[in-house]
Every structure is written in structure tokens, then in C-alpha cells.
Amino acid sequence: MTAAAAAGGTGPSAEAASDRVRFRFAKLGKIRFTSHRDVARMWERALRRARLPLAYTAGFSPRPQLSFGLALPTGCESTAEYLDVAFRAALAPAELVPALNPLLPEGVEVLAAAGVEAGRGSLQELVDGCSWELAVPGVDVVELQARLDAALAAEHIPVERERKAQRVVDDLRPSLLELSARPGAGGEAVLVADVATRPRGVRPVELGGGLGLPVGRARRTCQWIERDGSRHEPLAAPAAGAARLAEHAL
């Protein structure tokens, strides 16, 4: 069966055919300077070039039914971007990965695909938090950890944000769930952060500003969903893909 061929049955697993498929993909290297909107256009173009039976919206200007996870700030890398795509026929998700990767630009790589059950909420509604890795130049690991411990012990961490063309001051502290430091591959200290996305997400530049830290390259490593005290990823990367991405660690 080819990637574009229809198949019977539906289901949530990578092995079963599905007419709604979730993709996990990475965005690494120079492509990080491409905007979220342009990445969406890249995906639309790749899906059309693969001649897949896309489902379209109704109305005067039909568009492919694509639903992305949380928008990635321009200039940031990620190994945990998610996209749900609706098709007019059931496809085998595992076959879509090798079909799409050659059609996507360098730096964008599909890591996994799996069917999604009908009736599930959108990714933006489901995701509760993100994990980030931020290079912190000019600060060693011991000093960075001490500053992170102080931040976690603080009651309030004010940060200035722009909202509706106005500068406002928010408290960053409730959004900071876990902070730790580790040595980076390039010799710089790396800040590892778990942050909540509700009621508002935290951008790396805001995190650095609130903590008074210089921030270099930033990479999102996970988006996660928390239910009943436990959390899980919308779609985990396979072991082979995770090992390959580890070679590009900050």
C-alpha cells in the first residue's frame, strides 16, 4: 500500500490506518528563523506534492485541515513540534514519514506519525506545558544553578511583556514548574526549564529577562499534556529518532 492509497478502518495507533494523523517533527538549524506561518505553508506544499487525499475546509476559500500545536517563537529550535492533518481517506501513518521527509526543507524532519481518534480536542487545547533548553553564555553551571534555586524560592518574578501594543508587567513565577542547569555540548551552561502554558505561555526571551540571564540558542524539547496527576507527550519520538537528535544537543 502506498502513502496516498486509501485503507479501511480507523484507530489511534501508528500501525492502524486513520483518516486523521498526528505528526511529530523537528525544526533545527537555520530553518529556526522561519516563521510559524511559513512552516505551515511548507507543510501544505509537501502534503500536496505527496499527492495525499487531504480534507479541506468548507466555504469560499477552502484550506487543508491542519491543526498545529503551540506556535514556536521565530528563532527557536524544536524537537517536539506537532501537527494534526485530516484526510479524506484512511492512510497508514507509518508510511507517511518516508513519503514526506524528502519533500520538506532541510532542518524540518518528521520523527513520528500516528492515527488520532475522532473527537479528540485540538493540540492547542490539550497542551498544558512545555520543556525548554536554553544556552546561557557567560555563566557557569554552578552559578546558574544557584540563580535558578533562588528564582524557585522567590514568591514573585516580574517580567515585562507586550500585550495589545502595550507594555505590561506579569508575574512569571506561577509558570515556572522546574528549573535546572547542566553543562552544554559547546561548553556553555544550559538552562533546562519546564513551564506551564496556561493562562499564558512563556517565551525564552521572557524567561531569560525574568531571571536576569543572557539567553543564547533556545530549543523546545517537549510539549506535554497533564491529566490526573500524570503527564505525557502528544506523540513520543521513536528511540532511533531520539538518539539521532541527541547528537545535536545544545
Name residue 29's amino acid. Answer: G
Whether the pLDDT of residue 150 is over 90: the answer is yes
Task: Give me the pLDDT at residue 48, please.
Answer: 94
Grid look-up 544557584 returns 146
End-to-end CA distance of the chain: 39
Whether the pLDDT of residue 33 is over 70: the answer is yes
Query: What mean pLDDT is predicted for residues 105-120?
Result: 88
Q: What single-letter DSSP state applies at residue 64? A: B
> pLDDT digits over 54-102, tens only?
999 888 888 899 999 899 999 999 999 999 999 999 999 989 999 999 9
Question: Percent of the chain having pLDDT more than 90?
Answer: 66
More confident residue, 226 or 21: 21
Helix segments in the chain, DSSP class H: 36-49, 93-100, 123-126, 141-153, 204-211, 239-246
Contact assessment for residue 163 and residue 169, using Cβ atoms and an 8 Å cutoff: no
- Taken in order of first residue, the domains within the chain and their CATH numbers are 18-121 (3.30.70.580), 128-233 (3.30.70)
Give 242's pLDDT tier (boundaries 50, 70, 90): low
